[in-house]
Amino acid sequence: MRTYYCLAFLIWSCILHVVQLTPSPKRTSKYLHPERIMGLSKDAGKTLHRTKRGWMWNQFFLLEEYTGPDTQYVGKLHTDQDKGDGNLKYILTGDGAGSLFVIDENTGDIHAAKKLDREEKSLYVLRAKAIDRKTGRQVEPESEFIIKIHDINDNEPKFTKDIYTASVPEMSGVGTSVIQVTATDADDANYGNSAKVVYSILQGQPYFSVDPETGIIKTALPDMSRENREQYQVVIQAKDMGGQMGGLSGTTTVNITLTDVNDNPPRFPQSTYQFSSPESAPLGTPLGRIKANDPDVGENAEIEYSISNGDGSDVFDIITDKDTQEGIITVKKQLDFENKMLYTLRVEAANSHPDPRFLQLGPFKDTALVKISVEDIDEPPVFSRASYLIEVDEDAKEGSIIGQVIAQDPDTTKNSIKYSVDRHTDLDRIFNIHSGNGSIFISKSLDREETPWHNITVIATEINNPKQSSQISVFIRILDINDHAPEFAKYYETFVCENAKAGQLIQTVSAMDKDEPPQGHKFFFELVPEFAVHPNFSIVDNKDNTAGIMTRRNGYSRSKMSTYLLPIIIFDNDYPIQSSTGTLTIRVCACDSRGNMQSCNAEALLLSAGLSTGALIAILLCIIILLVLVVLFAALKRQRKKEPLIISKDDVRDNIVTYNDEGGGEEDTQAFDIGTLRNPEAREESKMRRDVIPETIFQIRRTAPLWENIDVQDFIHRRLKENDIDPAAPPYDSLATYAYEGNDSIANSLSSLESLTTDGNQDYDYLSDWGPRFKKLADMYGGDDSDRD
């Protein structure tokens, strides 16, 4: 085999065709002749011949980004079987065969058809074979080879970010790491210095520096202050070829921010502040704001305000507004112009979060002087007390002075004051007040038992300025006097058994008193002097505000005395002593052997008359039966009524009044007026029947007169309309009838009653033509004989 170039790729030839024991080609300027290897086989000891390699090619390296006018020559494929007569055909397959790499099938020359980029693909594996054109068979086994693309410096370094953002605390020392930037180069790092990147700083000096190999940005100046400059823009360059001339480069921007540290104390912009406040300012009223400036930000600029000293430290207070970092001075105690007109405060402002690293710079606090002047205003009157308590006896006379309230104008003018009672708190006008001196006196009598306390409101008003007024509560306690006598605590139902023994307790009584003596109640019981020695009963005072009623003899009789009245006098021990007499009613009752009551006076009287319980029940039943009979009789009596004139089963309504009266004809003018039926105008003066007295008389309704003749249907419709709109008409289920005949018939009268008044005879022969039904009439009126007869 013959080869012309590329000694390095001879190593790859040693790998190819190992199965066929094909040796690698050696570098020579002549064709490689076959070498014979002799050896003994295991079986027959035959001589083995090494097959001669028949391939030959020239070049295996190719430069990327070739820009020459012709296609770039890669190499040549050749086999010893090629005699140069054109019988062999070379075929190339593998990566890029036919597109990137083309082969001359006659000569075996390989060319690169396009410009190649190593960064896209650095190695191509191809396979070559030679085919006999006539037989189509391979003359040599298929061989594989590699084409490697040589790198050139055609890619500049690129940073991972276009813009970097970083921060570093202010006042940091030199060499403090800020951020690391990284750039990559797509060129081959194993071939030359094309991918060797070196960092440098183009903008940002002398504040920052960059490590040329690692790309770490560091601070270059000490004590950089955020308050002087906060933002920095640094431009970093990355250059390949180790930073040498001709290398490609790329840049990036790094935005660096200095973060704040608490390295500045707060400072007041002025040393003295002045404020004023009216003396009537309510507690908590803000008087003004002061602020100490701190160039730091965030929590490093948070300030706490306090009052360090001054004569108004107990009168005023200062709080911190967290949003604005201002100190707000407020009123802590009520101000009084007449008492003090000017206050001086020493206010201190200090950082809430000092940094120990910078304490050597000085105290992180500042002070300022605050002067507050109090303004005088017209104040309402002020009472000498917060409230008044007055005690008065309930028997105090009307007009008596029970107490006094005092108020004065706190202003220097000392205006006069007038007093009044708020009548909403004294609706009964029991109390009144002297408008000039505030003396309270009684206008009506008092009663502790009815109202033990009175709470009134007194108003003090400046005479010169009625708008300035104040009010105070006056609590009036009514003191008790002994003006009520004691009485029994309740009503006692006392009885004594007929078989009672002398000295037996039959009742224990107690007393009550509306008064409330300071030492408590103490009651005494005794019989009235007239009954001091009562033959039947006695009273024993138990000394505990109760007394016992005792019997003085054996046995009591209901038949002789069913009820005893025992008057008892009750005394109290207060001054003046009050007493009352209460009468205890004692009934005599029948009791069992154990003293339980069985029956008393009412039943005893009935039993004494000889009537048993059964007899009483019988008497009550008879009385009830008699009452029932009387009620039934009265009900039947009231249901009896006059028989109706006619009772018709065909009545359509229960409230239709019918009369069974035919009347006396036209000559009977007492029954009805027939003229009314013929003349509608006669309805205007309705007349009642005079021959029959109806049970129910309805009020006659006057209707509008009918001034013209109308037919019956129209007449009835009008009457129906009148009844519908008349509120006094009978109920809707009543039947209204109208006896109206209407106008005369067009055929005149068909009656024969007036036939005698006619002058001539009439011809009734036509009756014979009407059939058998009119034969009788035809016989009566049909012939002359009849007429003559």
Cα dihedral 619→624→629→632 (10° resolution): 180
Cα dihedral 205→210→215→216 (10° resolution): -110
Is the pLDDT assigned to residue 286 strictly greater than 90?
Answer: yes
Identify the domain boundary among 375, 402, 418: 375
Looking at residues 31-40, what average pLDDT do you find?
Answer: 29
Cα dihedral 430→434→438→444 (10° resolution): -20
Q: Higher model confidence: residue 368 or residue 689?
A: 368
Q: Higher model confidence: residue 265 or residue 608?
A: 265
Q: Residue 220: inside a domain, yes or no?
A: yes
Domain with residue 401: its CATH number is 2.60.40.60
Q: Model confidence over 191-239: pLDDT tens digits?
A: 767 778 999 999 999 999 999 999 999 999 998 999 899 999 999 999 8
Note the pLDDT of residue 74: 79
Q: Are 233 and 258 in contact (CB under 8 A)?
A: no
- Which pLDDT band, with edges at 50, 70 and 90, does 717 fall under? confident
Q: Residue 397: inside a domain, yes or no?
A: yes
Note the pLDDT of residue 604: 46
Q: Higher model confidence: residue 245 or residue 319?
A: 319
- Taking CA atoms, 371 is separated from 123, 181, 283, 286, in Å, by 89, 58, 18, 14
Would strands 388-393 and 469-479 be described as parallel, antiparallel, or unpaired? parallel
Q: Do 506 and 566 belong together in one domain? A: yes
- Per the structure block, which two tokens stand in for 80? 């010893």
- Per the structure block, which two tokens stand in for 660? 């069974």
Q: Are 470 and 383 in contact (CB under 8 A)?
A: yes
Q: Do 248 and 315 belong together in one domain? A: no
Note the pLDDT of residue 641: 53
Count CB-CB contacts under 10 A for residue 291: 16
- Taking CA atoms, 12 is separated from 5, 24, 96, 125, in Å, by 14, 8, 20, 11
- Taking CA atoms, 281 is separated from 8, 335, 759, in Å, by 103, 7, 131
58-72, 348-362, 620-634, 725-739, range with greatest mean pLDDT:
620-634
Domain hosting 461: range is 382-479
Q: Higher model confidence: residue 745 or residue 118?
A: 118
- Which pLDDT band, with edges at 50, 70 and 90, does 724 fall under? confident
- Taking CA atoms, 184 is separated from 158, 369, 415, 501, 740, in Å, by 5, 64, 94, 133, 130
Q: Do 179 and 196 belong together in one domain? A: yes
Is the pLDDT assigned to residue 698 strictly greater than 50?
Answer: no
- Per the structure block, which two tokens stand in for 447? 């009663």
Note the pLDDT of residue 741: 59
Q: Do 559 and 468 belong together in one domain? A: no
Q: Do 218 and 297 belong together in one domain? A: no
Is the pLDDT assigned to residue 754 strictly greater than 70?
Answer: no
- Per the structure block, which two tokens stand in for 741? 């005949």
Q: Are 219 and 208 in contact (CB under 8 A)?
A: yes
Name the DSSP class of 151. Answer: P
Question: Considering its fold, how many domains does the chain have in total?
Answer: 5
Please tell me the least confidently modeled range out of 156-165, 559-568, 747-756.
747-756
Q: Do 402 and 464 belong together in one domain? A: yes
Q: Residue 79: inside a domain, yes or no?
A: yes
Name the DSSP class of 397. Answer: P
Residue by residue, DSSP assigns 179-228 as EE--EE--S-TTSTTTT--EEEEEESTTTEEE-TTT-EEEE-SSS--TTT
Note the pLDDT of residue 611: 57
Beta bridge partners of 473: 457
Identify the domain boundary among 259, 286, 304: 259
Q: Higher model confidence: residue 343 or residue 13?
A: 343
Q: Residue 404: inside a domain, yes or no?
A: yes
Q: Higher model confidence: residue 485 or residue 21?
A: 485
Distance CA 754, CA 369 (A): 142
Q: Do 77 and 129 belong together in one domain? A: yes
To the nearest whole number, what is the mean pLDDT of the chain? Answer: 78
Q: Do 547 and 506 belong together in one domain? A: yes
Q: Do 207 and 242 belong together in one domain? A: yes
Note the pLDDT of residue 662: 58
Give all strands of the β-sheet with 163-169 in edge-to-edge order: 163-169, 249-259, 231-239, 198-203
Distance CA 26, CA 500 (A): 162
Note the pLDDT of residue 675: 52
Q: Higher model confidence: residue 29 or residue 524?
A: 524
Q: Which residues contact 523 (CB under 8 A, 6 or more apart)?
A: 486, 510, 511, 513, 545, 570, 571, 572, 573
Distance CA 474, CA 455 (A): 6
Identify the domain boundary among 113, 132, 150: 150
Note the pLDDT of residue 657: 52
Name the DSSP class of 626. Answer: H
Q: Residue 682: inside a domain, yes or no?
A: no
Q: Are 156 and 249 in contact (CB under 8 A)?
A: yes
Q: Residue 250: inside a domain, yes or no?
A: yes
Backbone φ/ψ region at 710: left (φ over 0), alpha (ψ -120 to 50), beta? beta
Q: Residue 624: inside a domain, yes or no?
A: no
- Which pLDDT band, with edges at 50, 70 and 90, does 706 fall under? very low
- 């390699």: which residue's tokens? 53
Is the pLDDT assigned to residue 75 strictly greater than 50?
Answer: yes
Note the pLDDT of residue 12: 32
- Which pLDDT band, with edges at 50, 70 and 90, does 94 fall under? confident
Note the pLDDT of residue 104: 82
Looking at residues 762-782, what average pLDDT do you find?
Answer: 76
Q: Model confidence over 365-400: pLDDT tens digits?
A: 899 999 999 998 888 899 999 999 999 998 899 999
Q: Do 436 and 507 belong together in one domain? A: no
Q: Do 177 and 136 belong together in one domain? A: no
Please tell me the least confidently modeled range out of 105-114, 420-429, 615-624.
105-114
Q: Residue 614: inside a domain, yes or no?
A: no
Note the pLDDT of residue 665: 56
Q: Do 235 and 281 belong together in one domain? A: no
